Amino acid sequence: MTAADGANPIVVEVTRGGTVESRHRGAAAVVDAEGALVAAWGDVDRPVFPRSAVKPIQAIPLVETGAADRFAVTDEELALACASHGGAPEHLRVAADWLRRIGLGPEFLVCGPHPPMCESAAAALVRAGRAPSSLHNNCSGKHAGFLTTALHLGAPSAGYGAPDHPVQQRVRQALAEMGGVDLRDSVEGIDGCGVPVIAMPVSAIARGFAALADPNRLSPRRAAAIRRIVAAMTAHPYLVAGRGRFETVVMHACAGAVIVKGGAEGVSAAALPGKGLGIAVKIDDGAKRAVETVMAALLARFAGLEGRGRAALDAYLDQPIANSTGVRVGAVRLAPGWPD
């Protein structure tokens, strides 16, 4: 629950030598498919930038408009549209093949280049003396989806990232409808990949993911689009993130029981298809280490997992901190009494 002084609760502690060295505060919401708040900690009504956590919702117009069918978008490509991928060879292959098939090249991606998030891929580029391209950008799949949608709508491919472009207008509408929130006057920024990012309450993000978990109350067209997106992410968790990454590890182990997507600055969202629930988390200081621990705890509590799925989550509930020789010297763990 929200602290008396209005501050979000301490949700994660970082220890060293038996002493708490750091603490992370945050807010989290669990919402059902009818939009009812099942559980909440902290200020879940405060708008936050969801960043890449909402990529599965941003992909809805790609499918819903008929663009995915017209351009024969594969399940691999659809998973990449929802991804913050590592820039590994398999990620690049899927992105490059997709762009080639729609008649465009990496130069059309407004996301621009950055080094691969995958360490081995980044090292390989350095050894080869090559600079990264826009394909290496973790958002290149999302942008390929935007370009595909623009071509289908007959809208310009140039400027597809502008707030007033038809593609971004459809994305904004999908976010508002899925989150059950009016975004017309919401604070808007520019995401790291150059497209708009719109502030939403944590509870609205959770509601959007509850609709991903159970789309039966939505229109047949949207429900079909969502089922296709969820199926693609479930079938190809490696493409959604990469080797050793939280989303890939959890979705692979949970085998369809969980869809989870993280974003920058301590945001994560999850859908539980078997439970009809959506979960959203925002860590106040943006710490990745904290948001993964919190999301793992909430998935463990609400997903009802056993076996390999539960074991994968448990590994994030007490993450070791090691020194340079590999000796454990501390841990990232849940704060005492949270989330009870």
Q: Output the domain CATH number for residue 173.
A: 3.40.710
Amino acid 3: pLDDT: 44
Q: Is 319 domain-assigned?
A: yes
Task: Identify which of 253, 278, 233 has the alpha carbon closest to the alpha carbon of residue 40.
Answer: 278
Backbone CA torsion sign across 98, 100, 102, 107: positive
**Rounded mean pLDDT, 77-102:** 98
Phi, psi torsion values for 261, nearest 5 degrees: -145, 125
What is the residue range of 194's domain?
10-334
Model pLDDT, residue 340: 85
Q: Show the tokens assigned to 260.
A: 């989870």
Question: Is the pLDDT reported for residue 5 higher than 80?
Answer: no
pTM, 2 dp? 0.96
Average pLDDT over residues 231-257: 97
The burial class, CB within 10 Å (0-12 / 13-18 / 19+), for 175 is buried
Q: Is residue 279 part of a domain?
A: yes
> Is 339 inside a domain boundary?
no
- Is 5 domain-assigned? no
Q: What are the structure tokens assigned to 325, written together?
A: 């020789």
pLDDT at 2: 42
Q: Is residue 4 part of a domain?
A: no
pLDDT in tens, 146-204: 999 999 999 999 999 999 999 999 999 999 999 999 999 999 999 999 999 999 999 99
- Whole-number Å distance between alpha carbons of 94 and 83: 12
Share above pLDDT 90 across residues of the chain, in percent, rounded to a whole number = 97
What's the whole-number average pLDDT of the chain? 96
Alpha carbon separation from 74 to 68, 81, 96 (Å, rounded): 8, 11, 13
Query: What is the Cα–Cα distance from 53 to 69, expressed in whole angstroms?
Result: 25
211 in a structural domain: yes
**Where is 95: in which H helix or E strand?**
helix 89-101
Share of the chain above pLDDT 70, in %: 98
Residue 129 lies in a domain: yes
Structure tokens at 248: 């890939």
* Cα 41–Cα 23–Cα 311 angle in degrees, nearest 5: 70
Instruction: Tell me how many domains the chain contains.
Output: 1
Say if residues 284 and 26 touch (Cβ distance below 8 Å).
Answer: yes
1 located within any domain: no
pLDDT band per the 50, 70, 90 thresholds, residue 6: low
Residue 45 confidence class, pLDDT cut points 50, 70, 90: very high
